[in-house]
Amino acid sequence: MRGERAVTAALIASVLASIGLLVVYVFVGGNAQAEGLLLGLALGGMGVAIVIWAVALIDAPVETEARHPMPSPGETRRSARDALDADRIGRRTFLVRLLAGAAGFLGAALLLPAFSLGPAPGNALFQTPWRRGVRVVDETGKPIRPGDVAVDTVRTVFPAGHVGSADGQTLLIRVPPELLTLPDGRGGWAPSGCVAYSKICTHAGCPVGLYRARDHSLLCPCHQSTFDVLRGAVPTFGPAARPLPQLPMEVAPDGYLVATGDFPEPVGPSFWNVTHREGKAGSTPSALPSVRGGEPGPS
Ligand code: FES
């Protein structure tokens, strides 16, 4: 009897804690300490109930000691047995239902973290503001001609109308055109030796801000990933495993640089399905060079 009361109390405590957790999350706006405490109570109540149930309520083997028979009259025994069985079955049914209810509330409470994941990113990881015909502009919004960029210098540029865009920021570098050995299909992407690569490092997303003209390399200051500007920004050193995506460009009739599409691959750090969406609409599909040309760096 005491065991049943204890199981009931523990399960009710678990239910109340689960309901409290739902209330704190949905109506109070969330509180990490309160949610942790209530989740602990919900799990603890369930655990205590299960332990007491197993120890005190589950029938152990019946041990009997021989003694002289002292039977009550048959009718008395029958009625006593019936009364006991009915009571036992009623209490057990109640406890089983209470256990199922507590498990249901606890399951609902455990689903709450899923609602904190925020909205699904959709196509956001695969698209930037770059589109066919969008002008290449500097940080003041001024359009750029190939002649505005000195050979072996780098500039940070943006798509017109999106100056400061996090995923549209791009490095524009001018190199002697005869040195370029870009991957197949990119022959026309670097007018007058102007090549453009995403500024977001493909390792962990730092801005790749350093250009070493001596060997035409872009360097990421965070973990020293190095990218070969002349060969499609393939990584030659450091932990980055993917090239910086290259922006396809041409010179418009008015002499200014424009994009001919978005980056052909997602910009920034790799994620599990990054290679599933190559060749987006509006850009030329390209192979992803994956061979590293130098010594492996630290991981
Ligand atoms: S973020 Fe660029 S090397 Fe790590």
Give per-residue pLDDT as tens, 16-63. Answer: 999 998 888 888 877 888 888 999 999 999 999 999 888 887 776 777
239 Cβ below 6 A of ligand 1: yes
User: What are phi and psi for residue 113, nearest 5 degrees?
Assistant: -55, -25
Give per-residue pLDDT as tens, 212-256. Answer: 999 999 999 999 999 999 999 999 999 999 999 999 999 999 999
**130: closest CA among 270, 283, 256?**
283
Q: How far is residue 226's CA from residue 218's CA, in Å, rounded to a whole number?
A: 6
State the closest ligand 1 atom to the C-alpha of 223, by its place in the atom list counted from 1: 3
Instruction: Flag whether 266 is in a domain.
Output: yes
Helix ranges restricted to H, 32-164: 32-52, 74-115
Residues 95, 166, single domain; the answer is no
- The answer to whether 265 touches 278, Cβ cutoff 8 Å, is yes
The beta strand positions in the chain, using DSSP E, are 136-137, 154-159, 170-174, 194-198, 210-212, 217-219, 226-228, 234-237, 249-251, 257-259
Instruction: Flag whether 291 is in a domain.
Output: no
Q: What per-residue confidence (pLDDT) applies to 245?
A: 96
Residues 88, 230, single domain; the answer is no
Q: How far is residue 268's CA from residue 225's CA, in Å, rounded to a whole number?
A: 13
Instruction: Flag whether 93 is in a domain.
Output: yes
Residues 132, 107, single domain; the answer is no
Instruction: Flag whether 295 is in a domain.
Output: no
Structure token digits, residue 17? 């804690």
Alpha carbon of 223 to ligand 1 centroid (Å)? 5
Domain of residue 272, residue span: 124-277
Residues 145, 230, single domain; the answer is yes
Q: What per-residue confidence (pLDDT) applies to 88?
A: 59
Instruction: Flag whether 170 is in a domain.
Output: yes
225 Cβ below 6 A of ligand 1: yes
Residues 169, 245, single domain; the answer is yes
Stated pTM of the model: 0.61
Report the relative pairing of strands 217-219 and 210-212 from DSSP bridges: antiparallel
Residues 178, 227, single domain; the answer is yes
Number of compact structural domains in the chain: 2
- The answer to whether 244 touches 193, Cβ cutoff 8 Å, is no
> pLDDT confidence of 79, banded at 50, 70, 90?
confident
CATH classification of the domain holding 200:
2.102.10.10
Q: How far is residue 41's CA from residue 158's CA, in Å, rounded to a whole number?
A: 53
Residues 249, 196, single domain; the answer is yes
Residues 160, 225, single domain; the answer is yes
Q: What per-residue confidence (pLDDT) applies to 60?
A: 67
Residues 206, 137, single domain; the answer is yes
226 Cβ below 6 A of ligand 1: no
pLDDT of 276 > 70? The answer is: no
Q: How far is residue 37's CA from residue 24's CA, in Å, rounded to a whole number?
A: 11
Q: What per-residue confidence (pLDDT) applies to 95?
A: 81
pLDDT of 288 > 50? The answer is: no
Q: How far is residue 112's CA from residue 90's CA, in Å, rounded to a whole number?
A: 34
Q: What per-residue confidence (pLDDT) applies to 175?
A: 96
132: amino acid identity, one letter: R
Instruction: Flag whether 293 is in a domain.
Output: no
Cα angle 181, 183, 188; round to 5: 80
Residues 153, 25, single domain; the answer is no
pLDDT of 155 > 90? The answer is: yes
Higher-pLDDT residue of 290 and 12 is 12
203 Cβ below 6 A of ligand 1: yes
State the closest ligand 1 atom to the C-alpha of 208, by its place in the atom list counted from 1: 2
257 DSSP β-pair partners? 251
**257: closest CA among 171, 153, 144?**
144
Instruction: Flag whether 130 is in a domain.
Output: yes
Residues 155, 215, single domain; the answer is yes
What long-range pairs does 175-181 form, CB within 8 A, spacing at least 24? 175/151, 175/216, 175/229, 175/230, 176/151, 179/216, 179/230, 180/230, 181/230, 181/231
> pLDDT confidence of 274, banded at 50, 70, 90?
low
212 DSSP β-pair partners? 217
Mutate to test the pocket of ligand 1, among 171, 210, 220, 226 (most ligand atoms within 8 A of CB): 220
- Mean pLDDT score across all residues of the chain: 85
Higher-pLDDT residue of 104 and 256 is 256
Instruction: Flag whether 283 is in a domain.
Output: no
Residues 142, 237, single domain; the answer is yes
